[in-house]
Structure formats: structure tokens, C-alpha cells
Structure 1
Amino acid sequence: DATNEPVPKPKRSFYAAKDLHKYRHKYPKLKELRYQNDFSNLRFYMNKIPLKPDGVYVEEILNKWKGDYEKLENNHNYIQWLFPLREQGLNFYAKELTTYEIEEFKKTKEALRRYILAYKMMLEFFGIKLVDKTGNVARAANWQERFLHLNESQHNYLRITRILKSLGELGYEGFKVPLVKFLLQEALVEQTMPNMKQSALEYFVYTIRERKERRRLLRFAQHHYRPLEHFIWGPPRKQKTGEGNAVNNSTSVTPKHTKDTVATSMVPGNGGIPPNLEL
């Protein structure tokens, strides 16, 4: 019986902690001052240029790809164009956002309208629907088959992380908490997508820039996480020793954590998590 087998304790991902800390704290890049931006992401969303390398315009994607789950699943070129970031993705034809382009994008109603349509299209692909203008979400009519698919096709967790990051870049930071809370609920409470829980806790939660909101979500997750003793709060802080040398605090997590103590299981061989990667 598999239930009698010991459940391995999860390890904190060094890459996840570093990547999300960079997203929350190290944008924009200094090189932007010298970067000649052609606003390709905005022009794509204005339906003036197609995505490369496919040569497809955003209107065609929004009108013809919506509901074509096989195409949305198997094509790996569109996601970087639909949800641009200030970092390079796997599609090297897609350009990185800059602060200048972001400001223009957020002032362009036509681009924002299509952006939200793209978000709704991807939510439907995942089995979720956007229910109001504040970003609240709920199960869509197709949720059962799509959640079953999402539980197994874990490359889509990378897409969700990108979507969450992009929402924060283009003025929809407030949309992130409802989506992450919903995904935690499904993964931990409803257990419709148990394979998602690690990505939700290591990536999705940490895309949220407001520390209070992250902690609220982590408390919710801890309350429902089983086995409780395997719950990991986050990357460790560096603590000062009496001699003034910094040391890692990597003690085991217990439910009685203090307000400012963040502890984790360390990944062997990764050299520890960088300091100051706070909750």
C-alpha cells in the first residue's frame, strides 16, 4: 500500500528563490538606459506585427486559438509574446519588456483589452474563469478535464509562473493573489491538482510583490498542508554570529515559527540560498 511508504520531505529550490527574488527586487535593469526599444510587445498587442517565428497575429490567436487546447498545449512560441517580461524567455525572437514600453502599454486601452482576453483564454485552457474586474477567479465549466490535464502536464506550471509575473509587470498585480489562492485551494484542499502544490509554494506565491499578501497565502497553505511537518516556509535568512560572521539558519520548520524566522530544508550541494530572500 503506497500510503504506508514514507513521504519524502520536499527541498527548497535554490533556483526558484533566486529567480523570484530577482523578479521582485532587481527590476528594472540598468542597461535599459542604453537599450534601444522597438516596442515590439506593444506593437504585437496592437495587431501591427505577428509573433515570431510563427507569423501569427494576436487577433488570430484570440479568435481562433481560444478553445483549441491541443494547439495551446503543444505550441511553445506564443506564451512569451502573450505574457512578456523583463527577462529573456525560451523564444529568442520575443523581446524583453523595458520600463518605457511598460508605461506605454499601460496607457494603451486596445493593448490592455487584448491582454485581458489573452489572460482569459489561458485561464480557460487551465479550467478557470475570470469572474470580475478585480481578478477573482472560479472553476470554469470544463474544470474537471482541464484540472486532470493540468495535474499531469507540469510544463504548464512554468507558463502560470510567467503569466503571474507578466500580470505584475503590466499593471495587474492585484489579479495575482486571487489566482494563487485559488490554485493553492485546488492543490491543497480540494486536491484536484496535488502535483501543483510544490510549484504553487515555490514559484506562484513568490511572484507576489507585497510581503503581507505572500505571508497570508503561506499561512493558508500551512494550515492545509499535509503532512504538516513537511511544510517549508521559505528561503533562510542569514543571521549574524557573535563574531560578526554571517551564517545560514537552516533549521527544520516547526509550526511555532517566530514572525521573522524563515527556515527551510537546504538542497544538498547548492551552496545555500542567497541572503535576504525574504518571505
Structure 2
Amino acid sequence: MQGQRRVTDFFASSSSQKTPPLNCRRPIFELAGSKPTVKKKRMRLSVDERDSKQTILDVGQKCGGQYCKQCDMMYSIENVRDVRMHEEHHNRQVGIKRVQISSSRLKLWLRKGCKYLSKQGYVFRIRPDSQSSLKGKLEEVIKDFVNTSVGFCADLSIWGWDKRRTVWASIINEGSTSYIAGIAITEPLISAQCSSTGEHISDGDPIIGVNRLWTHPTARRMGIAQEILDIARKWCFTGVLVPRHRVAFSDPSDDGRRFAEEYTKSSGDSTKHVLIYAVTK
């Protein structure tokens, strides 16, 4: 079975690129033994008419590079086209229009769907065989927002080849507005690996695999991801409350790893033991 791959796996390494991609993450660590920066002679901006040596200016490099953390996009503030593209991308990723839910549709899902009350709204549970219109809405959001936000291909399979995954969606209310604030895709596991020690965990006790975890930019730092996983731990296995340290994460991003370390750590234990696992299609 072919493993789940990130979008960046299909392109050349960053060392072979002349310019950074539009959507990239900055490295956490500096490479040991990297060459020190060589100071270059600053070019003059004015040219003396009698100076035959200075005929052109090197303007090949873009200036004004800007990284937007909210929508995870790198663009040039000196380039009108880049600024416009960023504005469109930012509004699409950060605005709630595409994830907003009408009151009539929410009432329908509350009547017919499997839901759990949360502090800020509801967490819905969707299985592969669900006939609810919520399933179609969540599949759309996952393809348009979730997959690319966590670094995967937009058309990556949601339910997996064995159809054992479950989608958990947090829908919160802000005044008269309701919208999808977070999504988690989980799957039952029989084994996982400790990222810090390399130890293989396969003792027969339940393990929850977090295939993908996403929170809408508007709802970040509100505890949405933690709330979804807490409900998933309680209801994923009938009659079993899965401990936090038995939650495993698949190929987490930098932000995802930091969340996982904070979520799974034991009280009073500063050691960062995060379970990870490799997923298939």
C-alpha cells in the first residue's frame, strides 16, 4: 500500500530552487556547518555618465518578501500581482464564508446527525456510510482547506482504502453565525511508534490515530482541536476512554507537532513523548 505523501514530495528540494515557493515553512534549525554569509559590495543606485563600467543594475532579486502566517503564504509586497494573489488567497482561507452554516441546515443536522455538545457548539461524528448532507459539506471543506493547510495533496483520500476513518467536525456559534471551526480525521490503530525513543507500541490497548487535524484561522487559540480530540477519545471505542498519551499523529507539521507534544504530555513530565504512525491511502 502506498504511503500518504505531502505535496512537497513531488518537487525538487529547496536547495535546487532559485526562488522560494509561494507556500512554504521556514526551517526551525540552522544546518550545522553551513557556510557563513559573504558580504557583497553594495551597488550604487546612481550612475555617473562618465563611468563606463556601471551600465546596468542587477535587479534580478525580489525585494519586500513577506510571509503571512494566517494563510501560510509567501509573497512579494513589491509585486502588484503577488499582493493581489495574496489578498484573494487570504480572504479565501481566513474568511468564514466557505465554511458558514445556515441555521436551517444546522437544525437539520442536529435532528438527524450524531453529535456531542461542546463548550462552544457541537462536535459532529461522520462515518464513511453516512447519508447526511453534512458528509458532503465536510468532504468539500477537507479538499479545499484541510488537505492543503496541513501540507497534503488536495485530492488525498478522506476515508482510506479500508473505510475505517471517522471525521469529527466542530461547529460553533458566534451570535447568529454558525461555521465549521475545526476538523479531525481519526482511525483506530493497533500499533504506533514513540517519536523520541523509537519504541514500537503494540500492546493490544486501543490507540487513536489522528490522520489530519485542522482548525479554521478564525477559531485558533480557542481550544477547538483539543475539544475535538477529547470527544473522539471518549466515543471512538465503545465503553473505553482512550488516554491522551495513546493518541498518535501521522506526519505532523511543525505546528502540529507542538500541539501534539502539549496535548499528550503527562502532568509534571517535561519529556516530549509523541506517538507517530505511517498511514496508507
| TM-score, normalised with respect to structure 2 | 0.32
Structure with bigger strand share is 2
Structure with bigger helix share is 1
